[in-house]
A = this chain, B = another copy of it.
Amino acid sequence: MSIVSIKDNSGKPKYKQIIASIEEAIVSGALKKGDKLPSLNSIKLRHKVSRDTVFTAFNELRNRGIIQSVAGKGFYVASEDIMVNQKIFLLFDELNSFKEDLYNSFLAHLGDHIQVDIFFHHFNSSIFSKLIYDNIGDYSYYVIMPANLENTDKVIDKLPDDKVYILDQTHNELSKYPAIYQNFEKDIHSGLNDALKHIQNYERIILLFDKSKQPEGILTGFKIFCKENKIAHEVVDSLESRTPKSGEIYVIPDDRNLIKIIKSIREQGLVLANEIGIISYNDTLLKEIVEGGITTISTDFNEMGKRLAEMILKNENLKIENPNRLILRRSI
């Protein structure tokens, strides 16, 4: 008795019949982990189907982690656990706390049966390329958080178009992929506008901006806001050689510098919100608590994770701007 069975007139796609046959053989115990499957050619001859048809079936099973292939040898059963049927490749820039919310929300809305593997490119384009290159063919979906890196779109192009999702920020070169992203330029502009009355209580607004890590839209939006409202402003790339002074309000996109500046403010005996202001990027639970509450301009990472999960589960091809808002707290 053959492991695969294909009916010509069943109305079902042949490759799905092959998948079902293999799954059944594994569930019934006829195929155990490590067993070799019949070769593409042998199935082609025995059942008079195209080699491609068999390959399509095997390929889907491989993407689901159920079988593995070894070039020059054959396909082998990798897992007897048919339920674990999808794996997602999730490529982040770096690990920081708001990603915790994003990741947890994504996972919660995907459901139990999908495995998500996280990788980090650390704003290094060769790591970015290597991670994608090394994992081509191994995952059902690829969720990628791009950055200001060169040539990344060429690598992404090696992945199947219908399996790629873009997260958090996007470029023109990536416009063919579904995406859920922040419109940084618009968001910081409208966020600062919503806080305009408070900002005008200060003499000068300072943006801390690391161009290798933060998206350029933040800088553009910030400058537009300042020009429109004729506010004295400055952009610095580090707090190292700077002591915060009374009359200044800082826009801080990352948490390490946020803590640094809060300490520095304390050391100098300045009064937050009175003499000096802070607006932070990316809301996390702790920012509700710190110093009586830090004002943030932030997208909703729970929502972002939820919508991303929905897009993938429903196979939607959408481009979604994730909502962003100013959360006014005592720090300004």
Contact residues of A with B, CB < 8 Å? 9, 11-13, 34, 65, 68-72, 76, 78-79, 81, 84-85, 95-97, 99-100, 103-104, 107, 115, 117-120, 122, 126-127, 130-131, 134, 255-256, 259, 262-263, 285-286, 288-291
Taking the closest CB of chain B, its distance from the CB of A119, in whole angstroms, is 6
Closest 10 CB pairs of A and B: A11-B68, A259-B285, A97-B97, A95-B100, A286-B286, A289-B290, A290-B290, A262-B289, A9-B76, A118-B118
Distance of A103 Cα from B28 Cα, bound (Å)? 37
Contact partner of A259 (CB less than 8 A), chosen from B12, B84, B286, is B286
Interface centre among A11, A78, A259, A291 (most CB of B within 10 A): A11
Taking the closest CB of chain B, its distance from the CB of A129, in whole angstroms, is 10
Distance of A72 Cα from B127 Cα, bound (Å)? 30
Task: Identify the closest chain B residue to A285 (Cβ).
Answer: B259
Q: Are the CB atoms of B130 and A115 closer together than 8 Å?
A: yes
Distance of A9 Cα from B223 Cα, bound (Å)? 57
Distance of A85 Cα from B133 Cα, bound (Å)? 14
Taking the closest CB of chain B, its distance from the CB of A57, in whole angstroms, is 14
Task: Identify the closest chain B residue to A292 (Cβ).
Answer: B291
Q: Are the CB atoms of A69 and B11 closer together than 8 Å?
A: yes
Q: Are the CB atoms of B96 and A100 closer together than 8 Å?
A: yes
Q: Are the CB atoms of A117 and B119 closer together than 8 Å?
A: yes
Taking the closest CB of chain B, its distance from the CB of A167, in whole angstroms, is 16
Q: Are the CB atoms of B95 and A104 closer together than 8 Å?
A: yes
Task: Identify the closest chain B residue to A117 (Cβ).
Answer: B119
Taking the closest CB of chain B, its distance from the CB of A15, in whole angstroms, is 10
In the complex, which residues of chain B have a beta carbon less than 8 angstroms from the beta carbon of A70? 9, 11-13
